[in-house]
Amino acid sequence: MSNLISQANAPFEGYVTVSADAPMGMLTLRGDLSSKPFITALKKSVSTDLPSACQITHDEKMSVAWMSPDELLILTPYDQVAGLQAKLQKALGKKHFLLADVSDARVSFTVSGDKVREVIAKLAPVDLAPDHFAPGMFRRTRFGQISAAFWLLSETEARVICFRSVAEFMFNQLSAAARPGSEVDLWS
Amino acid sequence: MKRYSAFAVAREALRFHSGWERAWRSPAPQKKYDVIIVGAGGHGLATAYYLGRNFGIRNVAVLEKGWLGGGNTGRNTTIIRSNYLQDPSAAIYEKARGLYENLSQDLNYNIMFSPRGVMMLAQTHHEVRGYQRTAHANALQGVSTEFIGPQKVKELCPIMNIDGPRYPVLGALWQPRGGTARHDAVAWGYARACSDMGMDIIQQCEVTGVRQSGGKVIGVDTTKGAIDCDKLGVVVAGHSGVLADMAGFRLPIESVALQALVSEPIKPCMDVVVMANTVHGYMSQSDKGEMVIGGGADGYNNYTQRGSFHHVEETVRALVETFPIISRLKMLRWWGGIVDMTGDRSPILSKTPLENYFINCGWGTGGFKAIPGSGWGMAELMAKGHSPLTEEFSLDRFKEGKFIDESVAAGVAH
Amino acid sequence: MLILNCPYCSVDAEETELTPGGEAHLKRFGPGSSDADFEGYLFQRENPKGVHFERWRHANGCGKWFHAARCTVTLEVFGTYSAQTTEPPKNLQKTISKKRPGWSWREFS
Amino acid sequence: MSTRLSAGGRLIDKSKQISFRFNGKHMTGYAGDSLASALLANDQMLVGRSFKYHRPRGVVASGSEEPNGLVNLGEGGQFEPNQRITTTELFDGLAATSQNHWPSLDFDVGVINNSLARFLPAGFYYKMFIHPRPFWKHVYEPIIRYSAGLGKAPKDTDDSIYEHLYSFYDFVVVGGGVAGLQAAKTAGDTGARVLLVEQASNWGGRAPVDGGEIAGEPVDNFVDQTLTALKKMKNVTLRTRWMAAGIYDHGYMIGYERINDHDPSDTKPRHRLWRIRAGRIITATGAIERPLSFAGNDIPGVILASALRDYVVNFGVSVGDRTVVVTNNDDAYRTAITLKNAGLEVPLIVDARPHGGGALADEARALGIRVETGKAIAKVHGAKRVQSVSICAQAGEGAVLEEVSCDCVAMSGGWSPVVHLWSHCGGKLLWDEHEIFFRPDVHKPPLDQDGTPFVYAAGAANGCFGLDELLQDAATQTGAATGSKKTPKLPNASPRAEAPIQAVWMMPQGAGIKLRSKAWLDFQNDVKVSDVQLAAQEGFESVEHAKRYTTLGMATDQGKLSNINGLATLAGALNADIPQVGTTTFRPPYTPISMGSIAGAARGEIFQPIRKTPMQSWHEEQGAYMEPVGQWRRPYCFPRAGESHDQAVIREINQTRNFLGLLDASTLGKILVSGPDAGKFMDMLYTNMMSTLKVGKCRYGLMCSENGFLSDDGVVARIDEQTFLCHTTTGGADRIHAHMEEWLQTEWWDWKVYTANLTEQYAQVAVVGPNARKVLEKLGGMDLSKEALGFMEWADGKIGEFDARVYRISFSGELSYEIAVPASQGLVFWNALLEAGEEFGVMPYGTEALHVMRAEKGFIMIGDETDGTVIPQDLGLHWAISKKKTDFLGKRAQERTHMTDPDRWQLVGLETADGSVLPDGAYAVGTGKNANGQLNTVGRVTSTYYSPTLKRGIAMGLVHNGPSRMGETIEFAKVDGSRVPAKIVDQVYYDKDGEKQNV
């Protein structure tokens, strides 16, 4: 990750701060989320509540994001992903599912500051007004010309994930959106 | 018909232009014609013109539901080129380009054909190879093109940024005798010439039904009454499916919106037409000074003549990167047209399941440049039952799998 | 600039988050079918001026394909529905009948 | 002369002087001035030249409808042509030059005087310049081009920045005048999210200039109070310098915010393009005054009456000392009254109506202004400035009754509601016979995705004038838009109290041709009344024809002043009613918007995404020559100092064939396909039988489109009973993954299969060459011996410290391992291989070496041997097409007559006699010509390279009956017409038996 963004891996200090996160463990799980036995088995290894559509749930160990009606993205510390994968594999047993480690396929960024909403609104065609997008929601969409997903950790902090190969592009376009002087003051 | 010339203009000026007659007559329909052409756009009018000129068939009506030339003929970016890869395409587009060379004189109407040269940029190695292949094919097809290097590109078009950080220009397929023409004038010139041959151009006359008997077409119903004919030519880009439906068959066509725009006029800064397919945009400068810009088509069925803004955005983004000086020009006008996309993106000029019903459609994004060749071939097909220009463009190819695919050479069929 | 509600994730997705997929409810003809059937399946299209059924993918989103019923003249959207069906839902057909009396599309009306 | 008045100027701050330059001349103005008002204050009446005749042009309007006042603005990276002076706010250091003249604004040799203009009527160029043929391109067209155009082309790259923003509102109210403010207030009171925008820098619109009272107080007070209330509402957003550029389907709207045009020294973005989804849009965009058509109405000093009023009231600027007002309605009397009250002379009001005006006329008379009713201007005299006007009877043909000396003419032909935004998305218009304008037809509004109206016009934009009527309409329309039953309590406001307007489309009514050919409709494009009449005479009867034939309304003001007058003139010429002739379609943008704003921030580094592999930084540090492949950029070769690309490629191939090469293969697609029905699914996807592949084995497979054409290839590895890993081409990863999901979701949705695109999870390195095994063994870890891992097998394990999946596959013909490691380890692994490989002669190679080596082996390349028209059978790949399977994607298509035609061209090798390299893309020439006169061809080159291994040119190509013509020589045509003979040979040039890869 370190060499992906810039030599120094320094955050961009704009009117919000854009920084590349340390590697995060990520598992893609595909399976029938409407199947009770599947959910029951899943709950044995997943500590958080399972998210409903377009939501993300968190506890101290992991986050679970709803990707599609048959896909979850499970986020853990990087070094715990193998253990969790094995645990899930075992719990789900012979059920029809697909589980893959995608920790290295994706990268994540933290965007923080009072005006984090409007910076994201410069790139994603999503309604970011406070009463329309709140922490706990998870949105897969487009940031400029690339696919991405994001959620709010708080009113002043967002996390954005995208594919690894476009990490630098994402960092650069987030930084451009956060350029001092380009404040919109939309929700302040 | 009074001939147009500088002398005629001067003569008329002295009497404040009171002597100019109508460019075309506006008659009521007769009961029957030898041939009815539906659609008074460039292709329909050209078909009628060459029926008269080449085959002496002059008892012809051209029916138009709106105003002549009011469809895609007047909504395109006026590019003329014939640097196509596949033989059938090169044949019909080169025929058209050749006819454009003398069209002003033929029609006694200045259609302002300007062979300023067209270049298609190669910005990937794949495109370089594709255009080299096209150049080889063109040499055998009698189409004069050349693959040129980046320095020549820069010389021909100094405002281009050939070292863009994203896609440096690696070369271009250059057709020196490609260019532009005044689109409205093409329709008007053909209309005037058709009218002069005694053909009836009937505007504000919508076809509401196709009449048939014994598997043959015998006429059409229109908003101005029923009109009989021996042969029917349907040349109604954007609405071909509707006319086919009236005759009881379906077409391998979907109608989508294609958009174009122009900037405010500026003094001359670009003497060639540039097409950049990797980044999806093309541009030329009109005689008025406007930068004329086109890009990609929408991907969904649409009859609104309004496209989606993001296509405009993609095209302008690409062109601002390729021609940085246009960043501070302003978009003046933006419009959309409805284009027919066929299964292989090549046109259909063909007989149909209904005898004596001929169809010319599916030009997609590339119709304007083909107008004279299309009219020439279509006239021959309708008069003689076959034409080497149209043979490969028959409807049967979709059954046989004998496609004419121009996208293969990294090019797109604009 | 269309906006379509993805029936899988309920997001009102805008056109740039979607990929168009052409006409809906095509019946696949494979080996053994006639030339005419195969040509019809691959190429011939309704292309109507009016009510149309079509496929979309929520590509920059949940990734799911879905169906939409839309008017190609006004761009009015009558509804979106699952991709896993061979015909438009009955209640959607009823909705369309209310808004566009006399509509027809292939065997549906 | 035009000058600054000692009093007045509600928008300017006389304490802040601003200096600027026009055509190099230093001038001063005040903060709050527009460039137009500042130029007028400096007596710069002449501001430009017209498009066609290069006639002198002065300011005619005060807003975005201005057709004449266009300048080159700024310098260097901030230079911009065609900037409208009426909407350009004055800033310190502003530098502008006038346009479209040579050598100077005052003296333009290009000017075409009245007698010559006669020879250039509408459409003259269609009738002339036909002979001799080459003259159009080489003589006439260049002259026309150089005299046309307006501003200069920028020379430098734009140094401003731009950006986009997505935003969502329940209601967007366009226009910050009285109606817009009231609409925003009404909408805001419902608690909904509201955006109120105003294109100018100030709120209030026209009303503060026009006068009248709301709640017994001046309008300014209403504006201030409403603004204060709106600012307190958290659900309401207010923006100025924000123009609603276009309304699109489904509530999409483009807004053009000019952030720092008025202060380019600021580092803010210059423009921000807002992409809005609005539930409902209320257009309170006001109305635009129309000129009157009389001879000489284009002479500098002839100005719209309302604009003149604006200059006096808003900027404290007078356009002339003696102003004749000419009108067909009451509103222009306000100008006369304003002028008089400002101490300026108004010698005469010419009112075309026989009975004249109402209360305002009385007020003017009471001020001592002479009013003549039923009269018209026969002609304006002057060249670069108005000198006098001749007065005649409106009903007559122009016999002069008197001459009035003056230096300004204020004209008013009535008002047209700004219906552009209403029309953009399909709203229809009605002709109002009484008011003489088009107004929105509320029964045919633009419809949204639910088929319900989503645009509402309010106030003057809806044809409501008079403060009381306009406030009421704003509340009514907003109520309709919100669906709220509550009627807001509206303050009392002044009623309109005007006498009816009378349609006057030519002044005087019976003007002869000489006068008509000097009465301008379109000031910028030089279209006169006589031109439109000529168009009608020649059969250009539709408004679209007439517009295009005359260029009426096609100028940069988009016909804001000329459209209705032109339409009425056309209707008159055709003896038809105006609504019969129709109106043209209004298209976005409302006023021109910068290309920069449309492109947004995406330029330079972030123009388009560049995908990078985990080893990309290493490649870049090595100075690799990159080639774009899809969104990736892959090293083409790694040239060393002094080395050409060709030389580098040869070096890389030789080293790999003889020792050891490394290829960054991370871009290859890697898609996991898993589930109980995975085998069945794979058999449908690939032409091969994949379900029989054993766990631990690899198989090369082909994928076709349903239309039969070869679309991708790659090696499939069977991971376990239910799981396959499919390698795709670099460009194919996303496409093939989408293709798989499409079939699974839309056709075989009951099959139990999941897919995942794992392309980016892994860095993949091809370790190739005789020393491949040695370097891996040196790193240690898993057993990679021939016995442990045979050719076309894969295994998981450790290489050194790296978790690896090793595929023993070869695209070069050499001993080869493709090794996947987690992407985060990619660069470390790459470096480890380089370090360990040093003693074995390791060398990275690029895509060109890859291509040459595969060609030496006769392997096909998707995109080279295939182009979307090629089926696997053409490439002799029958062995990869299962005969046992009853179905796979593309199978039915390949049974069509043209696909089974024995005359299809087929793949062979091609060898020149002299060892030279065949030209890429060359065609083999057959005999004779086809019916279209094109030379017949019998084949073409698909791949051609210099092979350093064979030390000669090698090629592959598709040739008619190729495989049965081995040894035959055919001729390929070069672009220069010469021919190159080449022998048909087997395309496998190197190690046909595969001994080298299977060691």
Distance from C-alpha of D79 to C-alpha of D75, rounded to nearest angstrom? 4
Best residue in A28, A52, A54 for a mutation probing chain C (most C CBs within 10 Å): A54
My answer on whether A96 and A28 are in the same domain is yes
Contacts of C64 in chain A (CB under 8 A): 68-69
CATH class of C3-107: alpha beta
- pLDDT, tens digit (0-9, with 9 covering 90-100), for B204-259: 999 999 999 999 999 999 999 999 999 999 999 888 988 999 999 999 999 999 99
The topology under which CATH files domain D291-413 is: FAD/NAD(P)-binding domain (3.50.50)
Backbone angles phi, psi at D139, to 5 degrees: -120, -65
**Is A39 found in the same domain as A132?**
no
Would you say B160 and B171 are in contact if contact means Cβ atoms under 8 Å apart?
no
User: Is B411 a residue whose pLDDT tops 50?
Assistant: no
Provide CB contacts within 8 A for B118, sequence distance 6+: B79, B80, B81, B83, B174, B175, B178, B179, B272, B273, B274, B275
Rounded to whole angstroms, the Cα distance separating A44 from D92 reads 70
Amino acid type, D269: P
| Rounded average pLDDT over A70-98 | 96
User: Pick from C3, C65, C99: which is nearest to D250 by CB?
Assistant: C3
Nearest CA in chain D to A24: D824
Residue A68 to chain C, least CA–CA distance (Å): 5
Report CB contact under 8 Å: C45, B241: yes
What is the topology classification, in CATH, of domain D902-999?
A: Elongation Factor Tu (Ef-tu); domain 3 (2.40.30)
Which class for D489: exposed (0-12), middle (13-18), buried (19 or more C-beta within 10 A)?
Answer: exposed
CA–CA gap between residue D834 and residue D836 (Å, rounded): 6
Question: What would you measure as the largest C-alpha separation in chain A, in angstroms?
Answer: 56
Residue D30: φ, ψ to 5°? -125, 155
| Mutation target vs A (from D160, D161, D167, D631; most A CBs, 10 A cutoff) | D167
Task: Please state, in angstroms and as integers, the Cα–Cα distance from residue B35 to each residue in A10, B216, B220, D302, following that order.
Answer: 75, 14, 11, 55
For chain C, the structural domain boundaries read 3-107
Chain C contact partners (≥3 CB pairs within 8 A): A, B, D
* Count: domains in chain A: 2
Q: Which of A54, A86, A101 is the last residue of a domain?
A: A101
Distances in whole angstroms, Cα of residue B363 to Cα of each of B343, B348, B360, D230: 11, 8, 8, 53
For chain B, give the secondary structure using H, E and C. Answer: CCCCCHHHHHHHHHCCCCCCCCCCCCCCCCCEEEEEEECCCHHHHHHHHHHHHHHCCCCEEEECCCCCCCCHHHCCCCEECCCCCCHHHHHHHHHHHHHHHCHHHHHCCCCCCECCCEEEEECCHHHHHHHHHHHHHHHHHCCCCEEECHHHHHHHCCCCCCCCCCCCCCEEEEECCCEECCHHHHHHHHHHHHHHCCCEEECCCCEEEEEEECCEEEEEEECCEEEEEEEEEECCCCCHHHHHHHHCCCECEEEEEEEEEEECCECCCCCCEEEECCCCEEEEECCCCCEEEEEEEEEEECCCCCCCHHHHHHHHHHHHHHCHHHHHCEEEEEEEEEEEEECCCCCEEEECCCECEEEEECCCCCCHHHHHHHHHHHHHHHHHCCCCCCHHHCCCHHHHCCCCCHHHHCCCCC
Q: Which of B9, B126, B320 lies nearest to residue D603, judging by beta carbons?
A: B320
pLDDT in tens, A11-66: 999 999 999 999 999 999 999 999 999 999 999 999 999 999 999 999 999 999 99
Q: How many CB atoms lie within 10 A of CB D978?
A: 9
What 8-state DSSP symbol labels residue D334? H
A160: domain CATH number? Answer: 3.30.1360.120
**Can you tell me the mean pLDDT for C23-50?**
96
Give me the torsion for CA of D553, D556, D558, D564, rounded to 10°.
Answer: -50
Torsion angle, CA of B189/B191/B197/B202, rounded to 10 degrees? -170
What letter would DSSP give residue D548? H
In terms of Cβ atoms closer than 10 Å to its own Cβ (0-12, 13-18, 19+), residue B290 is buried
Neighboring chain C residues of D707 at a CB cutoff of 8 Å:
42
Residues of D in contact with B319 (CB under 8 A): 595
Torsion angles phi and psi, residue D642, rounded to 5 = 80, 5
Q: Is the pLDDT of residue B414 over 90?
A: no
Residues of A in contact with C5 (CB under 8 A): none
pLDDT at B6: 92
**Contacts C54 to B, Cβ<8 Å:** 300-301
> CATH class for domain D519-581?
mainly alpha
Rounded to the nearest 10 degrees, the angle between the axes of helix A81-92 and helix A36-45 is 150
| Contact at CB, A53 and C9, closer than 8 angstroms | yes
Looking at residue D441, its pLDDT comes to: 96
Task: Please name the residue that has the structure tokens 């509340």.
Answer: D475
Kindly state the tokens that stand for D468.
């009381």
- Asked if residue A2 has pLDDT above 80, the reply is no
- The angle, 0 to 180 degrees and rounded to 10, between the axes of the packed helices D826-837 and D772-779 is 110
pLDDT at A5 over 70: no
Q: Cβ of C55 and D746 within 8 Å?
A: yes
Q: What is the pLDDT of residue D114?
A: 67
Long-range contacts of D496-499 (CB under 8 A, 24+ apart): D496/D465, D496/D466, D496/D468, D496/D469, D497/D358, D497/D359, D497/D360, D497/D466, D498/D329, D498/D330, D498/D331, D498/D357, D498/D358, D498/D359, D498/D360, D498/D465, D498/D466, D499/D330, D499/D353, D499/D355, D499/D356, D499/D357, D499/D358, D499/D361
Predicted TM-score (pTM) of the model is: 0.96
Cα D181 to Cα D170: distance, rounded to the nearest angstrom: 16
**Pick from A108, A107, A155: which is nearest to A128 by CA?**
A155
CATH class for the region spanning D3-113: alpha beta
Containing D714, the helix (H) or strand (E) segment is strand D710-720
Judge contact between C53 and C105, C-beta under 8 A.
yes
Tell me how crowded residue D138 is: count the other CB atoms within 10 A of its CB: 8
Q: Which residue of D has its CA nearest to A129?
A: D168
- Same domain, residue pair A172 and A109: yes
Which residues 81-120 on chain A approach chain D with CB closer than 8 angstroms?
96-98, 100-106, 118
Tell if the CB–CB gap between B24 and D539 is shorter than 8 Å. yes
A18/A30 same-domain check: no
Q: Are residues A86 and A109 in the same domain?
A: no
Query: How far is the CA of B88 from the CAs of B47, B349, B379, D717, D866, in angstroms?
Result: 19, 12, 17, 43, 20
Chain C nearest-CA residue for A53: C9
CB atoms B309 and D923 under 8 Å:
no
Whether residue A7 is predicted with pLDDT greater than 70 in this model: the reply is: no
Its domain, for residue A18, covers 3-22+105-177
Query: Chain A residue with minimal CA distance to C63?
Result: A68
Three-state DSSP string of D174-217: ECCEHHHHHHHHHHHCCCCCEEEECCCCCCECCHHHHCCEECCE
CB contact under 8 A, B300 and C46: no
Q: Of A53, A75, A101, which residue constitutes the final position of a domain?
A: A101
Instruction: Give CA–CA dist B80/D44, Å, rounded.
Output: 45
Residues 6+ apart with CB under 8 A from D595: B263, B316, B319, B320, B326, B327, B328, B329, B330, B331
Q: Does residue B169 come out as left (phi exceeding 0), alpha (psi in the -120 to 50 range) or beta?
A: beta
Give the domain-ending residue among A83, A101, A119.
A101
| Same domain assignment for residues A29 and A17 | no
Rounded to whole angstroms, the Cα distance separating D350 from D337 reads 14
The answer to whether the Cβ–Cβ distance between B74 and D544 falls below 8 Å is yes
CATH 3.50.50.60 domain position(s) in chain D: 162-287+417-482, 291-413
The complex scores an ipTM of 0.96
Q: Which one of D118, D128, D898 has the shortest CB-CB distance to B110? A: D128
Helix (H, G, I), strand (E, B) or coil at D575: coil
A185 is a domain residue: no
**Same domain membership, residue A109 and residue A47:** no
φ, ψ dihedrals at D271, nearest 5°: -130, 150
User: What mean pLDDT, rounded, does chain B reach?
Assistant: 95
Three-state SS at D80: strand
pLDDT along chain D (999 residues), means of 10: 93 97 98 98 95 94 97 96 97 95 88 81 92 91 89 94 98 98 97 98 96 96 98 97 97 97 93 98 98 98 98 97 98 98 97 96 98 98 96 97 98 98 96 96 96 98 96 97 89 94 97 96 96 97 94 94 96 94 87 98 94 97 94 96 97 98 98 98 98 98 97 97 97 95 98 98 98 97 96 97 97 97 97 98 98 97 94 96 97 97 97 96 97 98 98 98 97 96 97 90
Contacts of D449 (CB under 8 A, 6+ apart): C2, C3, C75, C76, C77, D249, D250, D251
| Domain D608-888: CATH class, spelled out | alpha beta
**Which residues are CB-neighbours of D638 under 8 A, at least 6 positions away?**
D619, D622, D623, D624, D625, D648, D652, D844, D845, D846
Distance from CA of D157 to the nearest CA of B (A): 5
Which residue of D273, D449, D881 is the best one to mutate when testing the C interface, meaning the one whose CB has the most C CBs within 10 A?
A: D449
How far is the CA of D424 from the CAs of B300, D10, D366, in angstroms?
Answer: 20, 34, 45
Q: Would you state the pLDDT for residue B409?
A: 55
A183 within some domain: no
Other CB atoms within 10 Å distance of the CB of residue D387: 15
With beta carbons under 8 A apart, name residues in chain C contacting D749. 83-84
Distance between first and last Cα of chain A: 34
Enumerate neighbours of D (3 or more CB pairs within 8 A).
A, B, C
Which residues of chain D form CATH 3.10.20.440?
3-113
Separation between Cα atoms, residue D475 and residue D463, nearest integer Å: 14
In C, which residues are within 8 Å of D705 by CB distance? none
Joined together, the tokens standing for residue B388 give: 């080497």
pLDDT at B413: 35
Query: Which residues lie closer than 8 Å to B348 by C-beta, 6 or more apart?
Result: B251, B252, B253, B342, B359, B360, B361, B362, B393, B394, B395
Please name the amino acid found at residue D28: T
pLDDT at residue C94, as a whole number: 97
CA distance D614 to chain A (A): 8
Classified by CATH at the fold level, domain D162-287+417-482 comes out as: FAD/NAD(P)-binding domain (3.50.50)
- Is residue A160 domain-resident? yes
